[in-house]
Structure 1
Amino acid sequence: MNKLLLSSLFIFLITFSANAQDEAQIDCSDVKTGVFFIPSDDVVSFSTKIVRTENFQREYLSDGSERTSRLKWLSDCSYIMLPDAKKEGEDPSESLMRQYGGIEVTYVKRKGDTIYFTARPHKQKGSFDDLFYMIKIE
């Protein structure tokens, strides 16, 4: 009986350790370029298609608008997103993004093509508990 209990506990610990290690070591090698999709949800009422090169991304929102941003990579899994250029009639969110020095995005978990991330104003200290996700489609 004790051997069975010890064996079960050992298998559980190995499984738990492997899962924890997978989440701690996120593979971000293919997120610097590609096409991604962020679906609408209870917080954001529109979906977004993102076309990204290594240092630039264009967002196509389901409401018909577009945004462009420059990307400054801090690590393989973290970057600062900055509005591309100040322009007349700038979207209020772009103006706010500029005021805070950009939006810092950090990938925290990945399951296949679904990438979970946090996002916060770069110059604002602290962390946000909200977890967002996007799906790599190309």
Structure 2
Amino acid sequence: MKKLIILCLLLNGLTSCAQDLKCADFKNGTFMTPGNSNFPYQGTIIRKNGKQIEWSTQSSDTTQINIKYLDDCNYVLTYDTELNELDELEKLINDSGGMRVKVLEIKGDTLFYNGLLQNDTLRFEQPGLMIKVN
């Protein structure tokens, strides 16, 4: 019985020392995005001061994105037209007011979100996740 109590106390101590990240912890830093069925390549994101730089393992091209925070857990992403030559999808996103992102949950170092692209004729939702690297 003593061993069980000691084990419970040890496990409780270890879990209580784990860092609880919040939405604000994902405003700056380096993140990894695993590939999925819509975009099969892993990506890297660096965020700092309302700017985001993205690149995938597929290419060395970078994409510059502006982040407008509505609050700590909701923001809008638009492509930086001064630093990027936009493709048709990126133009559509910007013309629609950007990709609206809502944080759904944070588990450990992973943020789960839902992105929404919506205009008068289109509604597209894209769930995803970002893993904080540092």
Common fold by TM > 0.5: yes
Which position in structure 2 is the counterpart of 1:53?
A: 48
> 8 Å contact 2:46–2:54 — kept in the other structure?
yes
Which position in structure 2 is the counterpart of 1:108?
A: 104
SS in 2 for 1:29: helix
Q: Deviations over 1:44-91 (max 9, x none)?
A: 111210000131000012221211011100010010001111578422
Distance 1:102 1:116 in 2: 19
Q: Which runs of 5+ in 2 are unaligned?
A: 1-20
Distance 1:54 1:120 in 2: 22
TM-score (norm 2): 0.73
> 8 Å contact 1:81–1:104 — kept in the other structure?
yes
Q: Structure 1 residue 35: deviation in Å?
A: 0.6
Give the count of matched residue pairs.
Answer: 112
> 8 Å contact 2:63–2:84 — kept in the other structure?
no
Distance 1:126 1:88 in 2: 24
Distance 2:30 2:84 in 1: 28
Distance 1:56 1:119 in 2: 17
Q: Which amino acid aligns with 2:54?
A: E
Which position in structure 2 is the counterpart of 1:66?
A: 62
Which position in structure 2 is the counterpart of 1:33?
A: 28
Percent identical across equivalent pairs?
26
Q: Deviations over 1:94-116 (max 9, x none)?
A: 11211211101111101100110
> 8 Å contact 1:80–1:122 — kept in the other structure?
no
Query: In the alignment, which of 70, 76, 80 is matched to residue 76 of structure 2?
Result: 80
Provide the aligned C-alpha RMSD in A: 2.4
**Structure (1/2) with the larger strand percentage:** 2
Q: Structure 1 residue 127: deviation in Å?
A: 8.0
Q: Which amino acid aligns with 1:62?
A: T
Q: Structure 1 residue 27: deviation in Å?
A: 2.1
Distance 1:94 1:126 in 2: 15
Q: Which runs of 5+ in 1 are unaligned?
A: 1-25
Distance verdict in 2 for CA 1:127–1:98, change over 3 Å: closer
> 8 Å contact 2:64–2:84 — kept in the other structure?
no
TM-score (norm 1): 0.71
